[in-house]
Structure formats: C-alpha cells, structure tokens
Amino acid sequence: MTQHNTPTDTNQDHLFQTPADGDFRFDDKTAAVFDDMISRSVPMYTEIQRMTGEIAADFARPRTSLFDLGCATGTSLVELDPVIDPTVRFVGVDSSQEMLDKARQKLAACPSGRAFDLVVADLHQTQVVENASVAVMNLTLQFIRPLYRERVIRNIFQGLNGQGCLILVEKLTLGDSLFNRLFIHYYYNMKKRQGYSESEIAHKREALENVLIPYRPEENHELLTTAGFRHVEEFFRWYNFSGLIAVK
Ligand SMILES: C[S@@+](CC[C@H](N)C(=O)[O-])C[C@H]1O[C@@H](n2cnc3c(N)ncnc32)[C@H](O)[C@@H]1O
C-alpha cells in the first residue's frame, strides 16, 4: 500500500474538539486534515481502497477513462495507479478546489507519469462521465441531495461503456431501528478506538446532520437497478457501511 500523509500535529484531525460553527464543509480546514480524518472515521478504509483497486483492475479497459467522483485528496487514484493499465486516463472530480489541490500534489508524486485530469465540478449539475470503463464513487453519493441521486446515477450509467462498472461505497441507515441503533453504537465505538472523544463524535454528528444523508441498503440497490445496471452485488459490509459493485 502506498504511504499517504503521515499524521503529524499539523495534519491530525482535531476539527471537532469544539462545536462546529455550521454545517460540515469540504473547505481548506477539512482538506488539511482529510487523510487523517477519513482513515480514522471510515472502518477498514485501507481495505476498501485495496478492494476498489482489485475490482477496478478487472474492469478497466485500455484507452478508456476511469472516473473518481468525489475524489477528495486523490487517495483512491493514487492506490489505483499501479494496478490499472497505463493507457487508462484518470479523471478525478470534486466540488472542492482545496481537496483537488491536495490530490494534484499526491498524483504528481506518482512515478507512473499517467495522464490525469482533476475537474472541479458540482455533481448536482454536471454530466462528467464519458468513455469510462470504471467509475468510482466512494463515500460521496451520501452528500448528494436525495432529489438528485437518481439523475446522478443515471448520468454515470450513461457515461459508462458496455461492461463498465461503478464501485459505490456508502454509509448506511437501516430500516430496522434496533439494528440501526446498534450499528451506530458500534460505529461510535470504532471512532473512540481511533482516538476521537465523545464530544468530538457528537460535534461532528451535529455538523453532518443536514449534509450527509445515508440511504437504506435497498434504496441504493434500487437506484442502481433502476438506472439500468444489469448486475449489482455488495462486495463489502461493515455494520452501517457498504460497498456495491454495479456492472452495465
Ligand atoms: C468523503 S469525501 C470522499 C472520499 C474519497 N472518495 C475517498 O475514498 O477517499 C466526499 C467528497 O465528495 C465531494 N463532494 C461533496 N459533494 C459534492 C458534489 N455535489 N459534487 C462534487 N463533489 C462533491 C467533497 O468535496 C469530498 O471531497
């Protein structure tokens, strides 16, 4: 595995030690600590990246594009680089310029010299995917307003070539309130094991409340089949986190 930013005092996530002054934003402060934040906030993040690479390598086709939608600081693209055919063009898309600035630094340091584009775009408004054999959308659909999700997934489907695949990782909510409560409890236990305090967890939960809207597993599955994907399967599950593969 590629070594990412080693957390130091300056890039460790302490953002929510005090209450947030509004909704969670992917701004310069978040970008500065993002790699530490996500690796401590998403269960099995490193394994999710590895699996994303393993699957993408089987679907990527020469002289097509691979899109990472919500690429943030480019961690997935950096992990994908050594395992994907060198003629595949990488396109990272994100609405946060600060995130893309980090991604550019990390990708420029990759030894392959692969062609890549980093596009600042709001997925609510843009159809960016074209000539793609692989689209990756990890932990980003949950930030798209529910009203737009069907259209976003349909746009991805239309931009994929035949046999192309979408890898979609999402935080979940569950219809069964008992399991929903339990799985959130286990998730917060994980965050505590990762060094977050009770108050940091509570402050971040409040900041994310109106911004991160998780779907139930069956809602995500239906989004994909309704868009036209012929094969849909869960490849990863950890309590309230799920990874889906969908093939056109
Ligand atoms: C949790 S991060 C994604 C993490 C990344 N995929 C990974 O695996 O490391 C979500 C990203 O989605 C981006 N994002 C949120 N809403 C967006 C939108 N409407 N259009 C484009 N990007 C968006 C954010 O800026 C952020 O970088």
Question: Whose C-alpha lies nearest to ligand 1, atom 15?
Answer: 143
Q: Does the Cβ of 92 fall within 6 Å of ligand 1?
A: no
* Domains of the chain, CATH where assigned: 45-173+211-247 (3.40.50.150)
Which residues pair with residue 92 across a beta bridge? 68, 118
Q: Which residues contact 153 (CB under 8 A, 6 or more apart)?
A: 141, 166, 223, 224, 226, 227
| Nearest Cα residue to 186 out of 43, 35, 24 | 43
- Is the CB–ligand 1 distance for residue 122 below 6 Å? yes
Longest alpha-carbon distance in the chain: 50
User: Does the pLDDT value for residue 2 go beyond 80?
Assistant: no
Predicted pLDDT of residue 236: 98
Structure tokens at 142: 């949950």
Give which of 26, 66, 15, 32 is closest to 212, Cα–Cα: 26
pLDDT band at residue 15 using 50, 70 and 90 as cut-offs: confident
Record the tokens describing residue 157, joined without a space: 């489907």
Distance CA 206, CA 22 (A): 9
Q: How far is the CA of 190 from the centre of ligand 1 (A)?
A: 22
160-171 vs 132-138, strand pairing mode: parallel
121 vs 23: which has the higher pLDDT: 121
Interval between CA 115 and ligand 1 midpoint (Å): 21
Alpha-carbon distance values, 25 to 29, 31, 209 (Å) = 9, 10, 12
Q: Is the pLDDT of residue 1 over 50?
A: no
Question: Whose C-alpha lies nearest to ligand 1, atom 16?
Answer: 143
Helical segments of the chain, H only: 28-41, 45-59, 75-80, 97-108, 146-159, 177-193, 198-208, 217-227
What's the mean pLDDT in 172-176?
97
pLDDT at 8 over 80: no
Work out the average pLDDT over 35-58.
Answer: 96
Cβ of 123 less than 6 Å from ligand 1? yes
Confidence (pLDDT) at 5: 41
User: Residue 160 above 70 pLDDT?
Assistant: yes
Encode pLDDT of 48-87 as tens digits: 999 999 999 999 999 999 999 999 999 999 999 999 999 9
pLDDT at 45 over 80: yes
pLDDT (0 to 100) of residue 17 = 80
Whether 145 shows a pLDDT value over 80: the answer reads yes
Q: 124 CB less than 6 Å from ligand 1?
A: yes
124, pLDDT greater than 90: yes
Single pTM value for the model? 0.94
Calculate mean pLDDT across residues 155-166.
Answer: 98
Task: For ligand 1, atom 14, name the residue with the nearest CA.
Answer: 70
Percent of the chain clearing pLDDT 70 (strictly above): 96
**DSSP H or E stretch at residue 5:** none
Distance 146 CA to ligand 1 centre (A): 15
Find the mean pLDDT for residues 126-150. 97
Binding site membership of 155 for ligand 1 (Cβ less than 6 Å): no
60 φ, ψ (degrees, to nearest 5) = -65, 135
Yes or no: say if 53 and 83 are a contact pair by the CB < 8 Å rule: yes
The residue whose CA is least distant from atom 25 of ligand 1 is 96
Token look-up 């070539």 returns: 161
Q: Is the CB of 37 under 6 A from ligand 1?
A: no
4-18, 123-137, 150-164, 196-210: which has the minimum mean pLDDT? 4-18
Spatial separation of the C-alpha atoms in residues 222 and 38, rounded to whole Å: 27
Q: Taking 60 as the threshold, does the pLDDT of residue 4 lie above it? A: no
Q: What is the CA radius of gyration of the chain?
A: 17
CA of 22 to the centre of ligand 1 (A): 18
Reported residue count of the chain is: 248
Read off the pLDDT of each residue in 140-152 and give the average, rounded to a whole number.
97
45 Cα: distance to centroid of ligand 1 (angstroms) = 15
Structure tokens at 44: 């099995």
The finding on whether 70 has its CB within 6 A of some atom of ligand 1 is yes
pLDDT score recorded for residue 10: 67
* pLDDT exceeds 90 at position 102: yes
Average per-residue pLDDT in the chain? 93
Is 98 near ligand 1, meaning CB less than 6 Å away? Answer: no
Does 223 contact ligand 1 (Cβ within 6 A)?
A: no
